[in-house]
Structure 1
Amino acid sequence: MVLELYNIGLVVVGIALFGVAVLPRFVSDRAISLPIFFVVLGLLAFGLPIGLPPPDPLEQGTTTEHLSEIGVIVALMGVGLKIDRLPGLRAWASTWRLLAITMPLSIVGAALLGWWLGLVVPTAILLGACIAPTDPVLASEVQVRGPGMGTEEESLEEAAGKQDEVRFALTSEAGLNDGLAFPFTNMAIAIALFGLAPGNWVGAWLLVDFGYRIVVGVVVGVVLGYLTARAVFATEPDTPVAESVQGLEAIAGTLLVYGATEIVGGYGFIAVFVAALMIRNYERSHEYNRSLHEVSEFAEQVMMALIMLFFGGAIAGGLLEPLTLPALVAAVVIVFVVRPLAGLVGFLGFDRDPVERATIAFFGVRGIGSFYYLAYGLNHAAFPGADLLWAIVGAVVLISIVVHGITATPAVRWLEARAS
């Protein structure tokens, strides 16, 4: 029986990987996204009477945390490697607004909805923290297309102008807010462990979670990103074996940077994205940038397919059963009201086309990062209502996958046609 389940599992995973390879040929120009297919495959594979036990993120919390963790860090490297715009306060103004205004407002809005549902304070804050990060994996349709637009000879304005603001803002936001959601997740954990009294936790939280770990993540990302870039671009792959593994440094660098940063207590998500930016800008016009990005994107798509497959399986296993009507309303409001409204507030006074601002505000795709933070939080403290929390987050991600997946391609095409 165990052997049969193993073989059935191989068939299901094989179908998923086959889909990663073949489906982009048919759906890349249509109003649908790949994650929808893999969620449906998971629903069928784990819902049909073929013997596969559906995954349970509550019972398999550690596995869920680590699987989603790998999915996020691989995607963060890919996101950083395809951004051509040079980092800067003015050039990244849309990003800073999304991080400093939109993200905190989204956390507060979702936490208030959780409190309205009757969740205790730490659980409500964890809900806000979980839905805070926009997803670097599931939002590929609205992200920048890849490296190669900028060259060393271009000015900042020229390089910035070649990646339109909608795609750039959503890409850079997804790259950074995955790491910046950590302090708020740790706040929820601290309150769950030590109570609401600020004197019990706020000092250590500000010093360590909001200070030390962010700084260390940035510093380690800069240093290891620079060293990785020097190693990558020091020589050319001029042998058959070297050519066969072109771009593998992207995966190696992802694991190295993330692991090293976590060892010294920093936020690995931030470090990986910063390191990717360092690598991308070390030799901006070098053709090897494309090889790095292609390998990273391949690994990202594989992880996306597997995680969405298991997400569909978890839904088949009853992940959404605790969802009440008010909780479903809250999930819908998070997607259609909280994020768009917070996005519009974040762009007040920003000198861009109102249609572009509205598009950026709407496409706050939620996904694998939300799974990671929820699993991480539940693995580090006891939160009442954990099953309802998983149901709400699962509903938010499912709605986001369907709604944003269907509307992304038409919206971006319309914007590009409008701009031209």
Structure 2
Amino acid sequence: MDDAIAVVAVALLAYATVERRLRPTPVSGAMLFTAVGLLASGQVTGLITSSHAGHGATAFLELTLVIVLFTDAMGVNAAGWAVEAPLPARLLGAGLPLTIAAGWAVGWALFPAAGVWGAALLAAVLAPTDSALGLPVISNERVPLLIRHALNVEGGLNDGLALPFVTIFLALALEEENAVGGGHVLQVLLRGLVASGAIGAAVGWGGTLLLRWSTGRGWSRPHWQSVALLAMAVLSFALADLIEGSGFIAAWAAGLAAGLVSRGSLAEAQQTPEELASLGVSVSFVLFGALFLAPELDHVTWATAGYALLSLTVIRMIPVAVSLLGSGLAGRTVTYIGWFGPRGLASIVFADLVVSSGLPEQHLIVPVVMLTVGLSVVLHGVTAPWGAQRYGRWYAAAVTRSPGIREAAESPPVAYRVRVSQHPPP
């Protein structure tokens, strides 16, 4: 355990000294931290192994995802959707289900042994995107704000929206394998979705009302307001877990409720949880490289590699293109949005849930997920700076020729721009 802590500490210290210098390069933080994890893995140096950090690593990844789900959901300003809702709504309301459907079809064709629900589970696990892995895509000011906002909102909400699919498909896959008795899916729906969502909404709503009341009387400072937000995220997860529900859905619902009730009044308090989430994601990629990616590289097959590449391309890009039909966006913009859908922490943790469930088909699902995330770290990390610059140059020329193009629509709210500027790369 001491070796693992030392490796993580050295990686963070080293990255902190060169982070600003690396920003304009194709080398992302996620790439470096994953590489450190691979070098420290049991397959290479043995500094970080499952025997050293197995259960602790799982708990850390889950806690990090809880904070990420809460802060991302809270950070999406509902008021800003009055102008900018159409694109995020298309990506989340049509693009996400179509992506799951496409992944389901391809998975069933490539991995028939996984069964119908195993293939659906694989598709749902890989559906969420992680915009932090391609930060230049949403932070480069040459890219129109409309597009940056759409990608940022999609990345902030689709992990929570994918959770019900993951939960239900996992229950159906377990039932298909006769691992549980009948009626399990109904219990999952009631406890994992309905009850957990209600718990999260109650905690986020009530906790934020209490904070606003306290702040209005000058009883609370931003530092402790930040602590309170973190406590709400963890409390919602713990309460849902007590009823054997989904703590992740509860944390996401709590963030949505907190963001709605706060109406931007807790913007300063949100900074600390967001910074902790970013730090947690950085450490998570070290653990990902050492404990998840390195062991699964031994199990890569042509089918595994093929699905991973398809997941990052046609399984994502075609549904995005379909969801944006009639939006008025140029083909280059649709391609830009479709390509930059990186896979990250949510897929890693969802795959770990599959492992902990004991599903027999996990040996087919988990290697695909880990390879897909690993390829995404490299491919999206390398192409993000170049792609953002190239697309930004195209947009500058296009808006000069046609000032009324869809990409030049009204800017998103100020709250969005502040949030992006405070979201450092992992």
Q: TM-score range by the shorter chain?
A: 0.7 to 0.9
1:325 maps to a residue whose letter is W
* Residue 56 (structure 2) pairs with residue 75 (structure 1): no
Q: Which residue, 117, 120, 126 being the options, matches 2:114?
A: 120
Secondary structure at 2:313 match in 1: helix
1:310 maps to a residue whose letter is L
CA deviations 1:173-207 (Å, max 9, x no partner) are 2222222222222333333332299x955972795
Q: Which residue, 267, 274, 280 being the options, matches 1:289?
A: 267
Q: Which residue, 100, 104, 109 being the options, matches 1:107?
A: 100
* Residue 296 (structure 2) pairs with residue 319 (structure 1): yes
- Displacement after TM superposition at 1:166 (Å): 2.1
Mark the CA change 1:388 to 1:125 in structure 2 (over 3 Å): closer, same or farther. same
Q: Is the 8 A contact 1:228 1:253 kept in 2?
A: no
- Displacement after TM superposition at 1:340 (Å): 0.9
Structure 1: tracts of 5 or more residues without a match: 146-161
Bigger share in helix: 2
* Residue 253 (structure 2) pairs with residue 253 (structure 1): no
Mark the CA change 1:28 to 1:213 in structure 2 (over 3 Å): closer, same or farther. farther
- Displacement after TM superposition at 1:415 (Å): 4.3
Q: Is the 8 A contact 1:42 1:309 kept in 2?
A: yes
2:335 maps to a residue whose letter is A
Aligned position for 1:44: 39
Structure-to-structure mapping, 1:224-263, within 5 angstroms: 224=206, 226-227=208-209, 229-230=211-212, 233-234=215-216, 247-263=226-242
Instruction: Tell which deviates more after alignment, 242-251 or 392-401.
Output: 242-251
Cα distance in structure 2, aligned partners of 1:210 and 1:38 = 33
Q: Which residue, 15, 18, 43 being the options, matches 2:13?
A: 18
Cα distance in structure 1, aligned partners of 2:172 and 2:225 = 47
Q: Is the 8 A contact 1:336 1:362 kept in 2?
A: yes
Mark the CA change 1:341 to 1:71 in structure 2 (over 3 Å): closer, same or farther. same
* Residue 112 (structure 2) pairs with residue 134 (structure 1): no
* Residue 341 (structure 2) pairs with residue 378 (structure 1): no
Aligned position for 1:409: 385
TM-score, normalised by the number of residues in structure 1: 0.78
CA deviations 1:104-154 (Å, max 9, x no partner) are 222222222222223322321221111011126535444469xxxxxxxxx
Structure 2: tracts of 5 or more residues without a match: 400-426
Q: Is the 8 A contact 2:193 2:249 kept in 1?
A: no
Structure-to-structure mapping, 1:198-347, within 5 angstroms: 204=186, 208=190, 212-213=194-195, 216=198, 219-220=201-202, 223-224=205-206, 226-227=208-209, 229-230=211-212, 233-234=215-216, 247-263=226-242, 267-277=246-256, 279-280=258-259, 289-290=267-268, 292-314=269-291, 317-347=294-324
Aligned position for 1:55: 50
Give the fraction of aligned pairs with identical amino acids, expressed as a percent. 24
- Displacement after TM superposition at 1:245 (Å): 5.9
Aligned position for 1:148: none
- Displacement after TM superposition at 1:372 (Å): 1.4
Cα distance in structure 2, aligned partners of 1:9 and 1:265 = 31
Q: Is the 8 A contact 2:205 2:261 kept in 1?
A: no
TM-score, normalised by the number of residues in structure 2: 0.77
CA deviations 1:202-231 (Å, max 9, x no partner) are 972795379625752673365246325415
Q: Is the 8 A contact 1:221 1:272 kept in 2?
A: no
Q: Which residue, 330, 354, 369 being the options, matches 1:393?
A: 369
Aligned position for 2:158: 177
Structure-to-structure mapping, 1:181-196, within 5 angstroms: 181-195=162-176
Aligned position for 1:369: 346
Cα distance in structure 2, aligned partners of 1:137 and 1:69 = 18
- Displacement after TM superposition at 1:39 (Å): 0.6
Mark the CA change 1:22 to 1:221 in structure 2 (over 3 Å): closer, same or farther. farther
What is the RMSD of the two structures over their aligned residues, measured on CA atoms?
A: 3.7
Secondary structure at 1:247 match in 2: helix
